[in-house]
Structure 1
Amino acid sequence: MDSYDIAVIGGGPAGYVAAIKGAQLGGRIVLFEKDTVGGTCLNRGCIPTKTFLKGAEIIHTIQMAGKYGIKNDSSFSVDMAKAVENKNQVVKQLTSGVAGLLKSNAVDVVYGEAELVDEHTIECQNKLYKAENIILCGGSKTSKIPIPGIESADVLTSDDILDMKELPEKLAIIGGGVIGCEIGAALAYYGSKVTIIEAENRILPFMDRELSAALEETFKKLGIQMYTSTKVEAIQSEKGCRVMCSGGKTVEADKVLISIGRTSDLQCLGALRKKLQQERNFVIADEYMRTNIPNIYAAGDITGKSMLAHSAFKMGEAAAKNAMGGSEKCLLKTVPSCVYTLPECASVGLSEEKAEEIYGKSEITVGRFPFRANGRSLASGTTEGFVKVIVQKTYNEILGIHIFGANAAEMISEATNLICTEIPADEAAEIVHAHPTFSEALMEACADALNMSIHLPKKK
């Protein structure tokens, strides 16, 4: 029977990073993957949706060309089969790259469904493997809600819609979170009539309220219909779909996308499913990524701590270090969140509402800088949006930064660095930024929190 220092179950962002880090630290590592390495992120999530959104961005650029004196025919059509083909090529290149990284680090990769037999044994394809330590990176799967009609062939998951070869004329999206908003934005630009149905009182309910409101306004301009505070009661499928909602609302659509989030995939727990402690269907792991069984760790979506690929990277790395004898905490307090719509939304730290709840409204100050006052934004024709900075008054501590606008997902990294390194707002406002750049708006928003912005009218 093969024996290893670490066995990793799942080859997604948490799993493949854990395997490579364990190998770098001198361990003999085996990685089990039931499908293709790369997990949801590379195969069915982050990367595939970004290829569709790049198409939407190109359409937007075509539509803006006349403003810059470029004479062109702004009419267009979308070949969804070709779009899917391009997506598949991008995915294949990245997953092949991950496979190459695993091979170069001498990680043994075993394909097939792997399950725990006991604390040190894994079964895969009727073969047993032994490991001193095990890291569970089983990932997540799409969530479904128990409503009549959800099993219809016209009701798609986020996995299904990324392989759709024909553009639906009318698309209903159940769920106004990241997946729903990103796919909704892309397909609205492609030409679909999109309706988003969200049970909460706003889309992107987990983000700062101003970002949600700003994106709602953008979606209205794009022609996306939104029903918030609305629950789906049934889906009727006869020559298309009819989504029956609370309040007597009815949405007609050719296809329905279910995008109400994801839940952990616990298949890998096998014989230890009842022994491993869980909460809300997620495996409980502490800040060292340890489960209640001493030699078993868990990382990524299966823990429910932060269901983001970059969080999974960090969790996987910490789990591997600790499995190899280290003692590293995985702190996820300052993990940025991004939504790649047009414009983008990005956040790190506390929302204004949460900051007020923790510190009190009188103890915080908020700085804002609109992109319409930013030179690079004006020159680029991307003046929609703002940077918002939340500051604790006593020490000028930056509590949260929220960006709505072009390149927000890139700019949020600097914002994260400011919070992680505990640079106060007054010092952040003094950092010299290249001009003209979008990121100058971050510096100006920090200054505005102190009523010291040079490029905004003085507050009264």
Structure 2
Amino acid sequence: MSTSKTEYDVDLCVIGAGSAGLSMVAGAAQIGRSVVLFEGAEMGGDCLNHGCVPSKAILKAGKVAQARREGASLGVKPVEPEVNWEAVKAHIQGVIATIAPMDSVERFEGFGATVISEYAHFVDEKTVESDTTRVRAKRFVVATGSRASAPPIPGLDKVDYATNETIFSLKTFPSHLLIIGAGPIGLEMGQTFRRLGAKVTIVDIAPPLGRNEPEHARVLVEALQEEGVTFHAPAATKEIRKTAKNIIIELENGTLIKGSHLLVAAGRAPAVDDLGLDAAGVKFDKRGIETDGNLRTSNKRIYGAGDVVKGMGGLTHIAGFHAGQLFKNFFLLPQALNKGFSSAKNDRMPAAIYTSPELANIGLSEAQAREKFGDRVKTVEFHFDENDRAIAERSTKGGVKIVVNHKGKVLGGSIVGEHAGEMIHMLSVAMTGGMKLSKLAQIISPYPTRSEAVKRAASSLYTEDLFGPNAMPRKTAAFWAKFH
């Protein structure tokens, strides 16, 4: 029996078929470059199969269930919904199946790429191998993403627990879901399972959403508490153990929390194991692959993209952004030489938590901006309880906060409220274009929309200059009044 491997010598070799890898392969193959893609697991990576897509599918089920409980203030009789867990799971899988062809082997082979459905690793500085295939390439992109990680809590390794990879396929619906982690995944799943009928308790060693604007994080946490989610955060966990009927979390203060199921949502770890990075001369550690600002590793042939890159991943759209920057630098050389190589710096990257209300942010928080620029920082705000659309819908929690420098340039912002994830685009456009707040204040918004809150927040920076007792318009109007 022959043990020889099929060999390729190509322009580009990509390891990992998640958002970054697939975007890179699609672009390169469609401009005629020879490409080999390795993926030993599911095409589409974590986002399609275990992350963004299934989580948003189940979030919708939770929102529909909750809507049936909340009609009283609108004159609609509330009812307690009946939830069929098997049907919810079928809905999730149906959504994945609908999107999956866009990430399929067949589609990317149709672009002209060679797809090897096997795990691969480096054997030297310019060669990658799998069970059947050996590839040499001008450039390599490692886009293996990240995996759910478990905190070092005593007893956790002896308890069956779910992660984002298994929570959507639980055989039985939880009567009481315990969640370790008060980050985006923990909050989204906590609210959703509560809305679907489970009792939910969230435990974290740190306060929820510590990197967000504190007042906006508080709005979100309080909204979940109003729906019945219980928080123990910050709280240190002493031990986790299993009995015949329950999983028990024991806190350091002696509190015992009993539940039927446990979800661990306490962070993710870059997938760097078994890649042969040492053989390739690529520097890395448990936090990911080390790269420069253009995503090049210590081996000039090899680049990283997405979650696997140390300190530069964490979101699906960051992975897509990385792929776009690499594509420009690899294949649009005249542009790179004329304009400078495209940087993967993501200091204006928006992020959103898709709870109700949603929480979205971009750029620097107020605390970060003041640490960096001191007293030259200003903030402006507008709350949804003054927004006519929010009032009409009786959904007035939250508001908009924008951080600017002394010249009015947008440094960052935060929005908490319904559809915050859509509204943050306005600040993203402003930051991408280097706009000052005065430009946002001039936007014409259709009435009534929630997005008016961004315009109103921006306009508030100039309220005193326009309408204050010593404002020039007041003095000018008083002068001309003498002649009319």
Please give the range of the TM-score, normalised by the shorter of the 2 chains.
over 0.9
In 1, Cα distance between equivalents of 2:428 and 2:350? 7
**Residue in 2 aligned with 1:308?**
315
Give the C-alpha shift of residue 166 in structure 1.
Answer: 2.2
CA contact (8 A) 1:22 1:321 kept: no
SS at match of 1:182: helix
1:266 is aligned to 2:281: no
CA-to-aligned-CA distance 1:407-438 (integer Å, 9 cap, x gap): 00011111111112121112211111111111
SS at match of 2:109: helix
SS at match of 1:130: strand
SS at match of 2:89: helix
Give the C-alpha shift of residue 158 in structure 1.
Answer: 1.9
**Residue in 1 aligned with 2:58?**
52
In 1, Cα distance between equivalents of 2:367 and 2:277? 44
CA-to-aligned-CA distance 1:127-183 (integer Å, 9 cap, x gap): 212222110001111111222321345322221212113221111111101111111
1:344 is aligned to 2:365: no
C-alpha distance 450-252 of structure 1, shift in aligned 2 (>3 A):
farther
Give the C-alpha shift of residue 42 in structure 1.
Answer: 0.9
In 1, Cα distance between equivalents of 2:107 and 2:379? 44
CA-to-aligned-CA distance 1:296-355 (integer Å, 9 cap, x gap): 111011003121000000112222333346432222110001000011000001111111
SS at match of 2:396: coil
In 2, Cα distance between equivalents of 1:322 and 1:165? 47
**Matched positions, count:** 451
Instruction: Please show how residues 22-421 of structure 1 align to structure 2 within 5 Å.
Output: 22-71=28-77, 74-99=79-104, 101-200=107-206, 202-238=207-243, 239-267=245-273, 269-270=275-276, 272=278, 275-304=281-310, 305-324=312-331, 326=333, 327-360=341-374, 362-392=375-405, 394-421=406-433
**Residue in 1 aligned with 2:459?**
447
**Relative contact order higher in (CA < 8 Å, ≥ 6 apart):** 1
In 2, Cα distance between equivalents of 1:450 and 1:232? 49
TM-score by length of 1: 0.93
In 2, Cα distance between equivalents of 1:124 and 1:366? 53
C-alpha distance 233-323 of structure 1, shift in aligned 2 (>3 A):
farther
SS at match of 1:348: strand
SS at match of 2:169: coil
Give the C-alpha shift of residue 405 in structure 1.
Answer: 0.5
Pair member with larger Rg: 2
SS at match of 2:68: helix
CA-to-aligned-CA distance 1:429-457 (integer Å, 9 cap, x gap): 11111111110001111112333699xxx
CA contact (8 A) 2:36 2:115 kept: yes
In 2, Cα distance between equivalents of 1:416 and 1:300? 20
CA contact (8 A) 2:126 2:280 kept: no
Give the C-alpha shift of residue 26 in structure 1.
Answer: 2.6
Q: CA RMSD in A?
A: 2.0
In 2, Cα distance between equivalents of 1:122 and 1:94? 30
CA contact (8 A) 1:6 1:323 kept: no
SS at match of 1:112: coil
The letter of the residue matching 1:438 is: R
SS at match of 1:287: coil
Runs of 4+ in 1 over 6 A off after TM superposition: none
SS at match of 2:38: strand
In 2, Cα distance between equivalents of 1:96 and 1:268? 28
CA contact (8 A) 1:154 1:254 kept: no
In 1, Cα distance between equivalents of 2:465 and 2:358? 24
CA-to-aligned-CA distance 1:209-246 (integer Å, 9 cap, x gap): 12211111112101111111212221110021110112
SS at match of 2:281: coil
**Residue in 1 aligned with 2:25?**
19
CA contact (8 A) 1:36 1:95 kept: no
CA contact (8 A) 1:445 1:453 kept: no
CA contact (8 A) 1:136 1:268 kept: no
In 1, Cα distance between equivalents of 2:277 and 2:378? 53
The letter of the residue matching 2:98 is: Q
SS at match of 2:10: strand
CA contact (8 A) 1:447 1:453 kept: no
In 2, Cα distance between equivalents of 1:147 and 1:70? 46
In 2, Cα distance between equivalents of 1:174 and 1:259? 6
The letter of the residue matching 2:288 is: F
**Residue in 1 aligned with 2:337?**
none
Give the C-alpha shift of residue 256 in structure 1.
Answer: 1.3
**Residue in 1 aligned with 2:448?**
436
C-alpha distance 14-328 of structure 1, shift in aligned 2 (>3 A):
same
Percent sequence identity over aligned pairs: 28
In 2, Cα distance between equivalents of 1:67 and 1:397? 41
CA contact (8 A) 1:295 1:323 kept: no
SS at match of 1:390: strand
In 1, Cα distance between equivalents of 2:120 and 2:327? 19
C-alpha distance 115-342 of structure 1, shift in aligned 2 (>3 A):
same
Give the C-alpha shift of residue 89 in structure 1.
Answer: 1.4
Give the C-alpha shift of residue 406 in structure 1.
Answer: 0.5
In 1, Cα distance between equivalents of 2:202 and 2:231? 5
C-alpha distance 346-173 of structure 1, shift in aligned 2 (>3 A):
same
In 1, Cα distance between equivalents of 2:239 and 2:211? 26
In 1, Cα distance between equivalents of 2:107 and 2:365? 38
In 1, Cα distance between equivalents of 2:279 and 2:421? 38
Farther off after superposition, 145-154 or 52-61? 145-154
The letter of the residue matching 2:386 is: A
The letter of the residue matching 1:411 is: M
In 2, Cα distance between equivalents of 1:40 and 1:178? 16
The letter of the residue matching 2:37 is: L
Give the C-alpha shift of residue 274 in structure 1.
Answer: 7.5
Give the C-alpha shift of residue 101 in structure 1.
Answer: 4.2
In 2, Cα distance between equivalents of 1:68 and 1:180? 30
The letter of the residue matching 2:242 is: S
1:425 is aligned to 2:427: no
Give the C-alpha shift of residue 280 in structure 1.
Answer: 4.2
Farther off after superposition, 264-273 or 24-33? 264-273
CA-to-aligned-CA distance 1:255-275 (integer Å, 9 cap, x gap): 111111100111352263573
